[in-house]
Structure 1
């Protein structure tokens, strides 16, 4: 094939339009589509009636302007767009930049690889590998808004005393007097530096929760307002220039009302990064959990130093974490391929939400977010713990098993506090199983930093065109291990083995394709090794 013909063929297969009107794509027979927003992944592949406008709405989690199909097609734009599925057609509308519709790949995997290489290539860098190598521990569910030195030390000691390995420990929200102040509050932390030094001695690295919000009517707020480092409000005048605005935007978020830093202004980024570095130097912190930054916290009435969409504001928040190898985000836009740790959105303490983990984390990988952590084991949405006299112990065990062979696993509710001896042993067994596979997980993470390929993959990604696009209860760890956790109250599991010869965790060789229906003991995580294609 000569060069001229190749160029002509690529032009035909990759259609780029700068026409910002709606584009309608006929869905091919058997074609399934994925992408857009991670937090809607349990609704994928998209069915008739699905619709999402990504402008200012990333569903409270990671998102990207990318759709990929099982027939090797992908859709990309540099800006958010709206899309909907109806009557065998995929319609993309309300675009804000040129739309790429590429048909040159052959399946889901090759379509992803082509899109990633072209639009969000992996940077060859890893976050801190301790995030993969050991379990993580977050103080949120145990302490909620009562973060304090005494209880944080007690939580860390209990981790070790109960036979769990130290790893990364995250101190969550409400450690400061107010948002925007970067010092530990004296009424709860008598000596924060000594506390963190003690945690280091125990074998932990320490992360601290931060957000881009600043509490109004505070000293820091007045300083930042005077320097014009906050997002302003146009007061209903869409033509108002930024330098003429005098009222800061006040954002409604889950903790009340705050102003928000404007990271289109380099001086705001310099100020915030300077505060984080001050915390590292003063208190010996190792990194940060960077919460919020959702696109929907940047209103259409907002005026910024440089004009930016709500989504671009969210992306700029993501850039902050690049200065800190120990980082974690929940909200993200168009930062695929970067060495940033993403966490799935807070899940409730329910079986329904447990069943979302696998489709969500595999779809995160399809959007370029390889270094993703499932939500906190047992759930991270603290409201679902309120008023619960007794948590569902089996749910916590199955949640730990589901996370055990994902890129990372993170505890928050203390298993030793809420579980019986039998169920605690099952959770510790899952942690021990992870230790067995950790060298392979680290190997995959290093390879992913170079290639951009997901660490955990959907069945359709790894085994295209075998009818597995709708299988949501199992995943592939790399190309070698099929992981099938129990994610229902019942101990029965249906497992779909693709073509090949598989070795089960109980030593049986099984020839695929095969559908297994099996009872799974409470302390077992079914794993199958592909020993021959």
Structure 2
């Protein structure tokens, strides 16, 4: 037994070590549990998920249940936390077949790199304290605090991207027309992002001259309006690209187990592609040098896609650093690319022990649906999961979702999405309000952007505070009410700091919602009424309403 944390109050911990591949299970009991990973079905708490035994590493949730941001950390409402050593080939299940258990095992099989892990062992710690907030305070010291914050502009003004509205059908004229229309409609811009299909081949970090004949002139035009421009990039080199040939010749790709040739991978835009080995310092520096050539013509920063272990080679491979845990690659990718932009406009979508990086962390692509299966409801539950993992600079993907499979967002879904996002740290648009040809959509969107901008100083202050305390910007309700049943279970409210309670409308077609106010005096920002908590309100909502309350005592 040992103690962890400070005196307010400390926790008591014990460590479990086993040299067996048999699973060890912790019963969830009647407590509410949180943590684990970004997930395809992101429930809050996680008791309702059903995850069979899986490698506990970063995945693309389109292909697996565990997601891009994964930490070896669970905590519960009864004041219990579980932490697991990073240096072990860990597998985990959560409520598999509704068994109400979190099960862990260590097994020397894919995707872990045998024989680097020569001994199968499972080690984890169980800590306990008085309540969920106390145990979280005692155990979150395992996460590094951010060393800086993203550019303050990004907490005040929205990002606009070409992806969801145009997909890969972009060119130089479309980018400028996109910008012109945003400005014509009098919307503010934090930065303009050019997404997929600006390169001749995937893996060549140069503009495609057939569709971007004067990229430097285009960038200069964007800069003339005092706007930064960013580009979508990724770690893949398709085998028909010049980048692949260069990286292969220099030994910069992830290699096969014998180190004799590249081990190839498949991704959504390529088959038998190379992937840059960011655990190789020479390869990492080469990749950064290619990005610097783009910066030389004016590109300000980048959206870094992928990086999950999902996209490492399917055949046996060896990372340059010799690590057996493939998450070593995910961490190396994030740490490498974070160096490219000193103005801190970088966006990534992976997180494994990289809380210290001053970058925006984007949630995985969202579908334009209302539910929990990577739909609208998960922008809040995923943001809270990122927050307790120590990633405060949450980007909830595109407002309205991505419109995949021909399922475009409805006007109502878009309105509720922009409202829910308005008091989250970062707003990002691709589908434009005028896409819906509905003035109500444009008016409410404009109002929500203005609301977001009015809280800009608070976002920046909370972001800077996170570098000192590690406290998130968005906080679960139990952050201020760790023993309240309602605070522990609500998945449609959050705190902005400790004094602003946000309760967006997350359901289709409703004219009211229940809102839980913890103990204290709360000012209703829609009508000015002061209400005493604890209390649950049956709160009427109109289409234009974003319910929010400020604690005044």
**What's the TM-score, normalizing by structure 1?**
0.90
Give the superposition deviation at 1:52.
5.0
- Indicate how the Cα distance of structure 1 residues 419 and 454 shifts in structure 2: closer, same or farther if over 3 A, else same: farther
* Equivalent pair of 1:264/1:316 in contact (CA under 8 Å): yes
- Cα distance in structure 1, aligned partners of 2:123 and 2:484: 30
- Indicate how the Cα distance of structure 1 residues 197 and 12 shifts in structure 2: closer, same or farther if over 3 A, else same: closer
Pick from 354, 358, 382 the counterpart of residue 339 of structure 1. 358
* Equivalent pair of 1:166/1:202 in contact (CA under 8 Å): no
- Tell me whether 1:375 sits opposite 2:385 in the alignment: no
- Indicate how the Cα distance of structure 1 residues 456 and 54 shifts in structure 2: closer, same or farther if over 3 A, else same: farther
- Cα distance in structure 2, aligned partners of 1:501 and 1:494: 18
Give the superposition deviation at 1:387.
6.8
Match of 2:264 in 1: 250
Query: Equivalences for 1:13-412 in 2 at 5 Å?
Result: 13-21=12-20, 22-27=23-28, 30-39=30-39, 40-42=41-43, 44-47=45-48, 49-51=50-52, 53-58=54-59, 59=61, 60-76=67-83, 77-79=85-87, 80-85=90-95, 87=99, 89-94=101-106, 99-117=123-141, 119-234=142-257, 241-242=258-259, 245-246=260-261, 248-257=262-271, 258-281=273-296, 283-299=297-313, 301-308=316-323, 309-323=325-339, 324=341, 325-352=344-371, 353-380=375-402, 382-384=403-405, 386=406, 391-412=409-430
- Cα distance in structure 2, aligned partners of 1:404 and 1:185: 36
- Indicate how the Cα distance of structure 1 residues 111 and 451 shifts in structure 2: closer, same or farther if over 3 A, else same: same
- Cα distance in structure 2, aligned partners of 1:48 and 1:62: 17
Q: Deviations over 1:368-415 (max 9, x none)?
A: 1111111201002x424x275xx4111111100010000111100111
* Equivalent pair of 1:113/1:453 in contact (CA under 8 Å): no
- Cα distance in structure 2, aligned partners of 1:97 and 1:507: 58
Query: Equivalences for 1:507-518 in 2 at 5 Å?
Result: 507-518=528-539
Query: What SS does the corresponding residue of 2:193 show, helix, strand or coil?
Result: strand
* Equivalent pair of 1:299/1:310 in contact (CA under 8 Å): no
- Cα distance in structure 2, aligned partners of 1:341 and 1:101: 30
Residue ranges of structure 2 left out of the alignment (5+ in a row): 62-66, 108-119
Query: What SS does the corresponding residue of 1:220 show, helix, strand or coil?
Result: helix
- Cα distance in structure 1, aligned partners of 2:49 and 2:399: 33
* Equivalent pair of 1:349/1:378 in contact (CA under 8 Å): yes
Give the superposition deviation at 1:97.
6.8
Query: What SS does the corresponding residue of 1:347 show, helix, strand or coil?
Result: coil
- Tell me whether 1:525 sits opposite 2:546 in the alignment: yes
* Equivalent pair of 2:3/2:12 in contact (CA under 8 Å): no
Query: What SS does the corresponding residue of 2:306 show, helix, strand or coil?
Result: coil
- Indicate how the Cα distance of structure 1 residues 419 and 94 shifts in structure 2: closer, same or farther if over 3 A, else same: farther
- Indicate how the Cα distance of structure 1 residues 94 and 436 shifts in structure 2: closer, same or farther if over 3 A, else same: same
- Tell me whether 1:473 sits opposite 2:492 in the alignment: yes
- Cα RMSD over matched residues? 2.4
Give the superposition deviation at 1:225.
0.9
- Cα distance in structure 1, aligned partners of 2:399 and 2:187: 14
Give the superposition deviation at 1:57.
4.4
* Equivalent pair of 1:337/1:370 in contact (CA under 8 Å): no
Query: What SS does the corresponding residue of 1:472 show, helix, strand or coil?
Result: coil
Give the superposition deviation at 1:123.
3.5
* Equivalent pair of 1:212/1:260 in contact (CA under 8 Å): yes
* Equivalent pair of 2:34/2:44 in contact (CA under 8 Å): no
Give the superposition deviation at 1:336.
2.2
Residue ranges of structure 1 left out of the alignment (5+ in a row): 235-240
* Equivalent pair of 1:500/1:530 in contact (CA under 8 Å): yes
**What's the TM-score, normalizing by structure 2?**
0.87
- Cα distance in structure 2, aligned partners of 1:425 and 1:454: 31
- Cα distance in structure 2, aligned partners of 1:387 and 1:507: 39
Query: What SS does the corresponding residue of 1:179 show, helix, strand or coil?
Result: coil
Query: What SS does the corresponding residue of 2:72 show, helix, strand or coil?
Result: strand
